[in-house]
Amino acid sequence: MENRRDFFKKVSLLTAGGLLAGQSTIVKAATSGVTNKNASKIIGLQIYSLFDELDKDIPGGLKEVGKMGYSTIELAGYGDGKIKGIEMAEFKKMANDAGLAITSTHVNPPVREYTKENKQQIADFWKKAADDHAKIGVKYLIQPGQPSTRSTEEVAYVGEIFTEAGRIAKAAGLEFGYHNHDGEFARVIPGGAESVSGRQGFGRRAPEGIEIIYDGLLKHTDPSLVFFEMDVYWTVMGQQDPVEYMKKYADRIKVLHIKDKAVLGQSGMMNFEMIFKQANTNGIKDYFVELERYTGGTQFEGVKGCADYLLKAKFVK
Ligand code: MG
C-alpha cells in the first residue's frame, strides 16, 4: 500500500510539473509554492477590499478571489493572534486551497501617539505580530495607519520607532514596511503643534522649506530595516506624483497599493501605465489591489472589475 501511495504521489507531482512547464497560464507565486491555475499574472489583493462580504463565507470567498485571477493576498483583520477571528494556520490553509499565497499583512500597533513611555508596549506588540505571521510564512509586515506626526521632531521619533519595528520583524524573518494615505503628504515644521494639511499643506500650494511627512519618514528610517508600500491613489490625493517618488526612492519603495477612486481605470485620474512602467523599471514584484466601499455593485464585483482591468492591461506583465 505504501508503495502504491508513493507512486501516485510521484505521478501527481510529475503532472503538476508538466502543466507548469507547458502552460504559461499557471502562475506559481514566487514566495510560496502555491499555484493558481486561474492566474495568468501575479496580481495581489488586499482583502480589506471585500469588507464584511468576505466574512459570510471565508473559504468560499477566497476561492472566488482565486477564480478572478488573483494569486497573492495581503491580510487585514489581525487581532488576538488570529485573522478575522480564525487561527492563522487555518486561514493560511483556506487561502492556499483557493490558490492564494499570503505574502503580506496590514497590522497597526495599539497606540497612535508614540512616546518614550509606550515605546516598549509598541515593541512588544510588534514582537507578537511578527512571530504570529512568521508561523504562516508571511513575508511583509506592514503598518497601514499613520501615527501622530505634528512636528519635524515627532516625524523623526516615529521613524525611530519604525526602525525598531523593522529590527523586530527582521529577527522573526519578516520585512517591516509602512503604507501611506494622503496625510503623509502634509507638511511639518520644527516645534510644530499640528501638521499643515488641507489646502495649505498639500502639493504646490504648500509653503516651501518645510518638510513633507513622507519624506521625513524616508529620511529617519533605516533603509536596511524599513521599506515603503506606496499607495499610489493616496499619493495622488496628497497632490504628489507616485511615479516621481518611485524614481527618487527606487530602493525604498518596494511594494505598491494599486488603487483608484473605485474600480481600477474608471476614474481616469490614475496613470496606471506610467506607474506599472516605473514599477517594472524598479523591479517591483509585489503589489496589492485595494478597493474602498464600492457603490457600483458588491465588493466582490468591484474586486473582480479590478482584476479584469489588470489582466487585460498590456502594461501589466
Ligand atoms: Mg492602501
Q: Please give the average per-residue pLDDT across 6-29, as a whole number.
A: 41
* 128 burial level (CB within 10 Å; 0-12, 13-18, 19+): middle
Cell of 153: 521632531
Residues 130, 74: Cα–Cα separation, whole Å:
15
Weakest-pLDDT range from 110-114, 194-198, 222-226, 229-233: 194-198
Q: How close is the Cα of 261 to the center of ligand 1, in Å?
A: 11
Residues 289, 79: Cα–Cα separation, whole Å:
22
Rg (CA), the chain: 21
pLDDT at 77 over 90: yes
pLDDT at 233 over 80: yes
Residues 95, 59: Cα–Cα separation, whole Å:
7
* pLDDT at position 17: 37
pLDDT at 173 over 70: yes
Q: How close is the Cα of 62 to the center of ligand 1, in Å?
A: 20
Q: Please give the average per-residue pLDDT across 81-102, as a whole number.
A: 97
Residues 176, 309: Cα–Cα separation, whole Å:
29
Q: Please give the average per-residue pLDDT across 144-173, as a whole number.
A: 96
Q: Please give the average per-residue pLDDT across 257-277, as a whole number.
A: 97
Q: How close is the Cα of 289 to the center of ligand 1, in Å?
A: 8
pLDDT at 19 over 50: no
Q: How close is the Cα of 15 to the center of ligand 1, in Å?
A: 39
Residue type, 94: M
pLDDT at 317 over 60: yes
pLDDT tens per residue, range 178-193? 999 999 998 888 887 7
